[in-house]
Amino acid sequence: MSETVLYDYWRSSASYRVRIALNMLRFDYRTVPVNLLEGAHKAQEHLDRNPQGLVPALEIDGLMLTQSLAIIEYLAETRHGSGFLPADPPGRQRVRALAYAIALDIHPICNLGVAAHVMELTGGGDAVRAAWMRKFIGDGLSAVERMLDAPWTGTFCHGDVPTMADICLVPQVYNAERWGVDLSGLERIRRIADACAELPAFRAAHPDAVKPA
Amino acid sequence: MSETVLYDYWRSSASYRVRIALNMLRFDYRTVPVNLLEGAHKAQEHLDRNPQGLVPALEIDGLMLTQSLAIIEYLAETRHGSGFLPADPPGRQRVRALAYAIALDIHPICNLGVAAHVMELTGGGDAVRAAWMRKFIGDGLSAVERMLDAPWTGTFCHGDVPTMADICLVPQVYNAERWGVDLSGLERIRRIADACAELPAFRAAHPDAVKPA
């Protein structure tokens, strides 16, 4: 078996998701930091790994994989018993819909490059960026909270084992807290994030746990 | 078998994706328009279908499903022979990565609500919106073009049968043309979109083919 290498950035939500997934599988992997602040993701060395110039990229099974959710689906298909998706198609559909409500409808809009472009267009500074983050993370998580108002929600987003939905939720809650989003009305989300924070796989993946010294 | 009903909007990219998928499966379905311009997606009747207040929602098998890509995965799992995803895990990973490079990294940033907020913040009008669309669709499709520079690309994004990647690509190309994105340098994308346009399932799903009179 070839070595597994994760090219990531400590604060990237998409990298954080893949770290949680690898930890849940008790994977032995090596991390190579790609410093987004220094533009390392736009260097040819990284573009050869990921033509999109994004993190993460995962070297595994002799392949170079990109797109965090596609990586997690690959791990679910090739490593049995991951629990990333439930066994029944309706349950899998619900978990994916929750994951996408975060990974599609919140996260890309709050990408640092998008927020930087808004700052440039408006001539506004950090306050414009923070308001942008608060609006789109706040609106998006409120919709997720409503989706969680369903009988299938348990200790975690779907039942009592963590799935791909929780893997997406936790990094988004981390970002929400970073930007000062008011989470007080989002009781289900806060309860689920707290339950995840008890799990070693989630704790070890936290940005503070992997931040370079 | 209960009736299959698609709640959609003719110009929505996510609805367009699901129409293509249902057509590829030769599904007999009824469409109920949700007029986004009149705010019908924010009415309680639609929020009961989709707590996110987005289109599409698909009533199928006695379930109400949301999130276009999660719907397509559900169809792939429950209707055999769809071809939406290849059989091999590395191929499935590549198709999903291409689909997500469009559905995550381009489409949400160019959501009309996001663009409207940019117009509000900048005080700019239609020109600001069009420039926003051209920047993010243009940059995003250029990255997809680079991802398609790979031996697995065939007549379509992955080999010679249309997959979920093509189902995402075609509505994005429609949007690119709508906003005047320069596609001249994106030869693989243009060639694949032209190949898709030959297929009845894609033609019947086109916004112009389903636009209310």
Q: What would the two tokens of residue B6 be?
A: 């698609």
Instruction: Return phi, psi of residue B6, to 5°.
Output: -105, 120
Are B67 and A104 inside 8 Å of each other by CB?
A: yes
Domain A5-82 classified CATH 3.40.30.10? yes
Helix (H/G/I), strand (E/B), else coil: B192:
helix
pLDDT of residue B37: 87
Sign of the dihedral through C-alpha A139, A90, A149, A200? negative
Q: What would the two tokens of residue A151 be?
A: 């009988």
Are A89 and B77 inside 8 Å of each other by CB?
A: yes
Q: What would the two tokens of residue A145 be?
A: 């909270």
Closest CA to A75 of A108, A35, A33, A29: A29
Least confident interval from A30-34, A70-74, A107-111, B38-42: B38-42
CA B164 centroid distance within chain: 9
Closest CA to B163 of B98, B118, B115: B98
DSSP letter assigned to residue A2 = P
Confidence of residue A1 (pLDDT cuts 50, 70, 90): low
Buried b (16+ CB within 10 A) or exposed e, A164-181: bbbbbbbbbbbbbeebeb
The answer, yes or no, to whether residue B129 has pLDDT greater than 90, is yes
Confidence of residue A2 (pLDDT cuts 50, 70, 90): confident
Tell me the ipTM for this assembly.
0.97
Whole-number Cα distances in Å, B79 to A91, B25, B76? 16, 8, 6
Contact (CB, 8 A) for A137 and A171? no
pLDDT of residue B156: 98
Scanning B84-143 for CB atoms below 8 A from A yields 89-90, 92-94, 96-97, 100-101, 103-105, 107-109, 111, 114, 117-118, 121-122, 124, 128, 132, 135-136, 143
A201 burial type by CB count under 10 A (0-12 exposed, 13-18 middle, 19+ buried): middle
Q: For residues B63 and A48, give the distance between their C-alpha atoms in angstroms, rounded to a whole number.
A: 43
N-term to C-term CA, chain A: 31
Q: For residues A175 and A144, give the distance between their C-alpha atoms in angstroms, rounded to a whole number.
A: 15
Are A67 and B96 inside 8 Å of each other by CB?
A: yes
- pLDDT tens digit sequence for B43-69: 999 999 999 999 999 999 999 999 999
- pLDDT tens digit sequence for A84-136: 999 999 999 999 999 999 999 999 999 989 999 999 999 989 999 999 999 99
Fold exhibited by the domain A89-203? Glutathione S-transferase Yfyf (Class Pi); Chain A, domain 2 (1.20.1050)
N-term to C-term CA, chain B: 30
Q: For residues B168 and B85, give the distance between their C-alpha atoms in angstroms, rounded to a whole number.
A: 13
Helix (H/G/I), strand (E/B), else coil: B111:
coil
Q: Which residue of A has its CA nearest to B139?
A: A52
pLDDT of residue B1: 62
What percent of chain A has pLDDT above 90?
A: 94
What percent of chain B has pLDDT above 90?
A: 94
**What dihedral angle (degrees, nearest 10) is formed by the CA atoms of A74, A76, A82, A86?**
150
- Amino acid A157 reads C
- pLDDT tens digit sequence for A132-160: 999 999 999 999 999 999 999 999 999 99
Q: How far is B90 from chain A (nearest CA, A)?
A: 7
- Assign domain B5-82+204-210 to its CATH architecture: 3-Layer(aba) Sandwich (3.40)
Q: Does A199 touch chain B (CB under 8 A)?
A: no
Instruction: Return phi, psi of residue A180, to 5°.
Output: 75, 30
Other CB atoms within 10 Å distance of the CB of residue B165: 28
Residues of A in contact with B101 (CB under 8 A): 52, 67
Residues in chain B: 213
pLDDT of residue B47: 95
Is-same-fold flag (A5-82; A89-203)?
no
pLDDT of residue A212: 86
- Kindly give, in sequence order, each residue whose CB lies less than 8 Å from that of residue A8, ignoring residues fewer than 6 positions away: A15, A18, A19, A31, A32, A33, A34, A55, A56, A210
DSSP letter assigned to residue A86 = -
What would the mean pLDDT of B119-138 be, rounded to a whole number?
Answer: 95
Domain ranges of chain B: 5-82+204-210, 89-203
Are B135 and A117 inside 8 Å of each other by CB?
A: yes
Q: For residues A19 and A22, give the distance between their C-alpha atoms in angstroms, rounded to a whole number.
A: 5
